[in-house]
Chain A
């Protein structure tokens, strides 16, 4: 009886939160799934059910496929740059914990993460500018040719990867630093006594023991990178169509289909595919990085 009462109290206590969660998180997802099976132009009262027609059309849509390839390239590019770089930088900062500059290092790395995205992207747009940008200035000063960063189909994707990685790095470093601070010091001391050098200790102790942190950071980074939008929009946008290749990414394609082409069902189908990809990749990451003992 007491147990039932406790259970009932717990349920009643959690119910408001659950209700809010269901309303703001679950309902939109379910509604998106439902809309993906319908044809709807956002304006009409009619929403005819069309089954999987939206999905069939998507996989023959060149713009969607281009967006899918670009987004995947950006997401994995950001992941492969951010994770190792963050690991190394956090190790270096952790190594200098007792330095009076430790706080400065942490702040410097973290600032890009909290800077507002649009002005940051505008600044990078200038950096990548083919004619006036300091990046090309730097390349030319060492005898390399200037590159059309925002116009070449490949370089423009690389430009977005660099921008996204720059932004993602601060958060990853911060989380890794927390991980480093929780590693048992005794292990490092024992390894040191056994003659292991700094790099060996990092590679054979820190990296394996930080696997749960790596899992978390890589999942967050990948999901965030798959949702890239503002960076692509700002790097190519201008009120007068000034130079800038529009790198088509999934969220941008979705917005275009929903609010320019008035195809909400079609855009919802894209959202479902994005959700499926992110879920699948998260599961794969869990499979690869989860500690074996916990399976």
Chain B
């Protein structure tokens, strides 16, 4: 080929390259959203789609996996500097370690103003997303518990309305349990979390403990912590589990449990978060069920969005877009998690789906508790869960208060040892 013919070709190639560069997106970026709740994936995809108006070339990958695996992924991913910008969904208590080690950056000023505006979020949610007055996360939703009960089963058992006290919970469980000819339960009266792995067992126990006026940990004036369950409230909570399993036989380890069992009418009632409403609408739309507030109060586990790269404008925009009213209402209606933002009209959903009432209309003196934002909270819960699993399997404890007390004292000692090791034990 002659040089003379090469020149126009080179010019054309240069022009083509220049045109392609000029057409290159101003915000060409890839975001990865890490979520610990698979049911949240459609929500994040919806947010990503809406964000395309401002960031037409933004590519968003939503990776929603089971919560425990998600937590491991964060521990490995953030510390090893996994490539790419991440929007990370995380409970405020779990994020604390990462914030303390400068692995999660604070939000930009304009977003901090949005978060701290009392019109948008209550103090509880602002605190859960902050450390030492600096905002690190953007609040999104919360896990809040309530009683789910099968209306038909209650009616069939002659029960008028849901239980209102913990003593009634046991009475109801007894009356609602369906048995075969040998007296073995076939449908549990009250599904309790008795087995499995991870800290869920301890969290569920904590919810029941709270109804008896107890707490898993208590903070002292010096800002430190100690175990607070080796007492009367702890004994009552554990005894209630043991009596239901071993004495009254209203539930057993082997029986199907949790939301799946509820949706299949294999249990009459159980305590869970609001996501069950969205899940049930999809899996058992004809189930006749209702919800009720718990006797004293509920756990409220605030989940926030964090960003791995402080300089990623698109990532922060994603966290802000996720809090747009239209998305939050969609999340409540279709996923079931309770949005944290205050100044949004959720009534079209809460009025159309009466099961949300227990989560939004609760007594004035209803109390909330949450996991303390301390480093070893996961270890404390996981180890306490292992202790509880052993206790639940020990029939000899059921009618022996002294043995229950000794068991709880040993477990509390372990909790306090962990706190002491971390320099967090109250004197």
Q: Give the contacting residue for A255; candidates B72, B97, B256, B379; CB below 8 A.
A: B72
B204's closest neighbor in chain A, by CB? Answer: A241
Residue on B nearest A150 in the bound complex, by CB:
B254
A236 interface residue per 8 A CB criterion? yes
Could you say which of A42, A43, A245 has the most chain B C-beta atoms within 10 Å of its C-beta?
Answer: A43
Interface residue B200 (Cβ < 8 Å from any Cβ of A): yes
Interface-located stretch among A1-9, A104-112, A258-266: A258-266
**A245 and B75 contact, Cβ closer than 8 Å, known pairs A239-B66, A260-B378:** no
Interface residues of B: mostly helix, strand, loop or mixed?
Answer: helix
Judge whether A240 is part of the interface by a CB distance below 8 angstroms: yes
Inter-chain CA distance A109–B254, complex, in Å, is 32
Contact of B376 among A45, A245, A261 (CB under 8 A): A261
Quick check: A42 and B79 within 8 Å, CB to CB? yes
CA distance A256 to B382 in the complex (A): 9
- CB pair B76–A259 under 8 Å, yes or no, is yes
Asked if B103 and A43 sit within 8 Å, CB to CB, the answer is yes
Q: Are B254 and A131 in contact (CB under 8 A)?
A: yes
Which of B43-51, B162-170, B189-197, B322-330 contacts the other chain? B189-197
Q: Are B256 and A243 within 8 A (Cβ)?
A: yes
B383 within 8 A of A: yes
Instruction: Judge if A166 is at the interface, Cβ distance under 8 Å.
Output: no
Question: Contact string, B251-290, partner A, CB cutoff 8 A, digits 1/0?
Answer: 0011111111100000000000000000000000000000
**Distance of A63 Cα from B193 Cα, bound (Å):** 20
Residues of B206-265 whose CB lies within 8 A of A: 253-261
CB of B375 closer than 8 Å to a CB of A: yes
Residues 237 to 295 of chain A near chain B (Cβ within 8 Å): 237-246, 248, 252, 255-256, 258-263
Q: Which residues on A sit within 8 Å (CB–CB) of B201?
A: 241
Which residues of chain A are within 8 angstroms of B257 by Cβ–Cβ distance? 240-243
CB contact between A244 and one of B76, B195, B386 (< 8 Å): that residue: B195
A237 vs B198: C-alpha distance when bound (angstroms):
9
At the interface, yes or no: A169 with Cβ under 8 Å from chain B?
no
B368 at the interface (CB under 8 A from A): no
| Residues on B with beta carbons closer than 8 Å to the beta carbon of A246 | 195-197, 389
Distance between Cα atoms of A240 and B258 in the complex (Å): 6
Instruction: Give the distance in Å from the alpha carbon of A220 to the alpha carbon of B202 in the complex.
Output: 38
The residue in chain A whose Cβ has the minimal distance to the Cβ of B255 is A243
Q: Does B89 contact A (CB under 8 A)?
A: no
In the bound complex, do residue A245 and residue B389 qualify as a contact, i.e. CB atoms below 8 Å apart?
A: yes
Are the CB atoms of B196 and A241 closer together than 8 Å?
Answer: yes
Q: How far is the CB of A203 from chain B (nearest CB, A)?
A: 44
Asked if A259 and B71 make an inter-chain contact with CB atoms under 8 angstroms apart, the answer reads: yes
B101 part of interface (Cβ distance < 8 Å): yes
Number of interface residues of B (CB under 8 A): 41
State whether the Cβ of B105 lies closer than 8 Å to any Cβ in chain A.
no
Which residue from A44, A243, A261 sits with its C-beta under 8 Å from B379? Answer: A261
User: Please, which residues of chain B bring their CB within 8 A of the CB of A130?
Assistant: 254
Provide the A63-87 mask, 1 if CB < 8 A to any CB of B, else 0.
1000000000000000000000000
Q: Which residues of B contact A48 (CB under 8 A)?
A: none
Contact with A along B378-412 (1 / 0, CB 8 A): 11001100100100010000000000000000000
| Bound-state Cα–Cα, A244 to B378, Å | 21
- A245 interface neighbour in B79, B253, B259, B383, Cβ under 8 Å: B253
Which residues from chain B contact A242 at a C-beta distance below 8 Å? 196, 256-258, 260-261
Cβ-based interface call for A153 (8 A): yes
CB distance from A200 to the nearest CB of B (A): 48
Contacts of A244 in B (CB 8 A): 195-196
Q: Is B68 part of the binding interface, using a Cβ–Cβ cutoff of 8 Å?
A: yes
Say yes or no for A94: interface residue by CB 8 A criterion: no
Minimal beta-carbon separation of A35 from chain B (angstroms): 14
Find chain B residues with CB under 8 A from A252 CB. Answer: 197
Q: Which residues of B contact A261 (CB under 8 A)?
A: 376, 378-379, 382
Q: Scan B86-100; emit 1 where CB is below 8 A from any A CB, else 0.
A: 000000000001101
CA distance A192 to B322 in the complex (A): 81
List the B side residues contacting A236 at CB < 8 Å: 195-197
Complex Cα distance, B386 from A216, in Å, reads: 37
Query: Knowing A42-B75, A63-B383, A261-B379 touch, does A243 contact B97 (C-beta < 8 A)?
Result: no
| Chain A to chain B contacts (Cβ below 8 Å), 19 pairs | A42-B75, A43-B75, A43-B98, A236-B195, A239-B66, A241-B193, A241-B198, A241-B257, A242-B257, A243-B196, A243-B253, A244-B195, A245-B253, A246-B389, A259-B72, A260-B68, A260-B72, A260-B378, A262-B378
